[in-house]
Structure 1
Amino acid sequence: MTTGYFFDLDGTLYSNRTHSVSNHTIEALSKLQKQGNKVFLATSRTLRELDHLPQAMRDFPFDARIMDGGSRIMDADQNDLRCVFLLPETMRAIDAFCKENHLIYRYSTCSENLWGTKPNLYAHRAYFDLYLCAPFYKPYQEDKVLNVLVFIKAEDQKKLRPLLKDCGIVHFDHAMEIRANHVDKIEAIQWCKERFDLDTLICFGDGQNDIEMIRQADLGICMQNGHPNLKKVADLVIGDVSEDGIYQFLKESHRI
């Protein structure tokens, strides 16, 4: 019997307030692996958005990393296990819509993280404050795209939605995350379940894009700092990311 532990990154393993991962959290992940469990990262971040994480987090030997909201899965040696790209015609439609409506969007490829339209100072700073890095500006030119983030108000998202019939979408208050059809974190987790022959799925998250992952896990766990909608579907709510919530839960439940 093999258990797979899947961890969201921002707000779950990693505190965006302090830009840190606690030593206790790294210790907990290591102990889970030593006990024969498989440990996975499940994030919407792109590969380039992982570059400025604390070294202990960058170097941790996850059994696999689910990135780009499920579009990309890499093994422990950072070789691609799979990549699912948006259709070129979909990307052309997104690009045209954003240019016509003066919207800012970010797109990711296997090697780069890029602004498809020129960002304003607010978007650039907001992005840097979150990831400690920012994309370069490069107009879309038929690149193979894994993931798109469009900065768009909630009331305007319905205007873009009809162009995305073949896409997986996560709606936020001021943005839409767009991926290929049927691709999301839980789909990628199910792929890993088969690939790594897992019997039980235990998932940790904090955001709205973690809802299906938490809902469909054998044990779905939300952080205390998590979104109210995620807490409603979680089996358990544990401590805050800034208070070693994961470590304390795993220790108190005798999982490590």
Structure 2
Amino acid sequence: MSKIKIAFFDIDGTLIDPEKKRITDNTKKALLKLKENGVKICIATGRPPEKVPDFKSEGIDFDAFLTFNGSYSFNETETIFENPLDKEDVKQIIQNGEEMGHPVVLATKDRTEANGLEEDLVEYFSIANQRIKLATDFEELSKDEVFQIMMAGGKDEYKAMLKDTKRAAVAVWWPKAVDIIPSDGGKGVAVEKVLEYYHLSKEEAMAFGDGNNDLEMLKTVGLAVAMENASKELKEAADVICGHVSEDGIYTYCKENNYFE
């Protein structure tokens, strides 16, 4: 009998093939079988809540959602953990973006809107089959609780993005854009909070991911699984590597390791 009682899944590149923009039938089957066997299943994504696919319409009922790279985590009945960006940091990052010539996307619980567009930022959103909405009241939006900021830019720009901030960090899963989150947050912290909420241990948890923003999550569970299509750094941090997202990697791994019949 498996000791695993909870499983965490990234979305883009893990549950959903970025090329086909959909979850495969076998991946759906794996999630349903895990649920049938008493394993709690949780989403752990950089997406805001409003941009999480409607898996329920596919018959899949997730137990918890760790959104904004874990900064806002909840289930059907209540908030489990929330950790917005510092309001002064939000102002500073917007200013940094202006100085760098980069627009930014602000994500609150209910809205994900930008003060401008640029090619790499548009492409970043398109990977998850999303489009950027421009805010008509950007200054007012910036005063709300912001859980994540998205900005285009490469590794050589990270320092400038975070200039003069007190509690902000970049979370990266694509080379030409970033998610900016609280430095005391991330998927790993959120996984710890969810395990505490459900009174489960690290050893009872497994996680699947593909990007560097999944690194802390994989370090926080007893069984860390990287997709075949994962980054080099994530594969090195994982306990095992399963198949490619486009080739039913999650389903094959779970079936071969007797997580379901």
Task: Verify same fold: TM over 0.5.
Answer: yes
TM-score w.r.t. the length of structure 1 is 0.90
Structure 1 unmatched runs, 5+: none
Structure 2 unmatched runs, 5+: none
Check 1:60–1:128 CA distance in 2 against 1; reply closer, same or farther (3 A cut).
same
Match status 1:152 vs 2:153? yes
Check 1:99–1:113 CA distance in 2 against 1; reply closer, same or farther (3 A cut).
same
Check 1:53–1:37 CA distance in 2 against 1; reply closer, same or farther (3 A cut).
closer
Pairs aligned (count):
251
Q: Is the CA contact (8 Å cut-off) linking 2:121 and 2:151 kept in structure 1?
A: no
Separation in structure 2 between the aligned mates of residue 99 and residue 53 of structure 1, nearest angstrom: 37
Residue number in structure 1 paired with 2:131: 134
Separation in structure 2 between the aligned mates of residue 128 and residue 201 of structure 1, nearest angstrom: 30
Q: Which has the higher mean CA deviation after the structures are superposed, 12-21 or 162-171?
A: 162-171
AA aligned to 2:131 is A
Shift of 1:52: 7.3
Q: Is the CA contact (8 Å cut-off) linking 1:2 and 1:38 kept in structure 2?
A: no
Q: Is the CA contact (8 Å cut-off) linking 2:120 and 2:177 kept in structure 1?
A: no
Which residue of 247, 250, 259 corresponds with 1:246? 250
Shift of 1:81: 3.2
AA aligned to 1:35 is N
Separation in structure 2 between the aligned mates of residue 140 and residue 183 of structure 1, nearest angstrom: 25
Residue number in structure 2 paired with 1:218: 222
TM-score w.r.t. the length of structure 2 is 0.89
Q: Which has the higher mean CA deviation after the structures are superposed, 45-54 or 191-200?
A: 45-54
Q: Is the CA contact (8 Å cut-off) linking 2:73 and 2:80 kept in structure 1?
A: yes
Shift of 1:54: 9.4
Shift of 1:97: 1.4
Separation in structure 2 between the aligned mates of residue 6 and residue 54 of structure 1, nearest angstrom: 17
Shift of 1:169: 2.6
Shift of 1:84: 1.7
Separation in structure 1 between the aligned mates of residue 185 and residue 125 of structure 2, nearest angstrom: 26
AA aligned to 2:80 is L
Shift of 1:132: 2.4
Shift of 1:140: 3.5
Give percent identity, aligned residues only.
25
Residue number in structure 1 paired with 2:241: 237
Residue number in structure 2 paired with 1:114: 113
Separation in structure 2 between the aligned mates of residue 2 and residue 71 of structure 1, nearest angstrom: 24
Which residue of 179, 182, 185 corresponds with 1:180? 182
Separation in structure 1 between the aligned mates of residue 126 and residue 55 of structure 2, nearest angstrom: 13
List aligned pairs for 1:17-32, cutoff 5 A: 17-32=19-34
* Aligned-residue CA RMSD (Å): 2.0
Q: Deviations over 1:66-85 (max 9, x none)?
A: 000011112035x5333221
Structure 1 residue ranges (4+ consecutive) displaced by more than 3 angstroms after TM superposition: 51-55, 79-82
List aligned pairs for 1:1-256, cutoff 5 A: 3-51=5-53, 55-56=57-58, 60-76=60-76, 79-115=78-114, 117-120=115-118, 122-123=119-120, 125-138=122-135, 139-141=138-140, 142-171=143-172, 173-199=175-201, 200-256=204-260
Q: Which has the higher mean CA deviation after the structures are superposed, 171-180 or 243-252?
A: 171-180
Separation in structure 1 between the aligned mates of residue 161 and residue 195 of structure 2, nearest angstrom: 33
Separation in structure 1 between the aligned mates of residue 34 and residue 245 of structure 2, nearest angstrom: 18
Q: Is the CA contact (8 Å cut-off) linking 2:4 and 2:205 kept in structure 1?
A: no
Shift of 1:44: 0.6
Separation in structure 1 between the aligned mates of residue 84 and residue 149 of structure 2, nearest angstrom: 10
Separation in structure 2 between the aligned mates of residue 125 and residue 68 of structure 1, nearest angstrom: 18
Check 1:37–1:71 CA distance in 2 against 1; reply closer, same or farther (3 A cut).
same
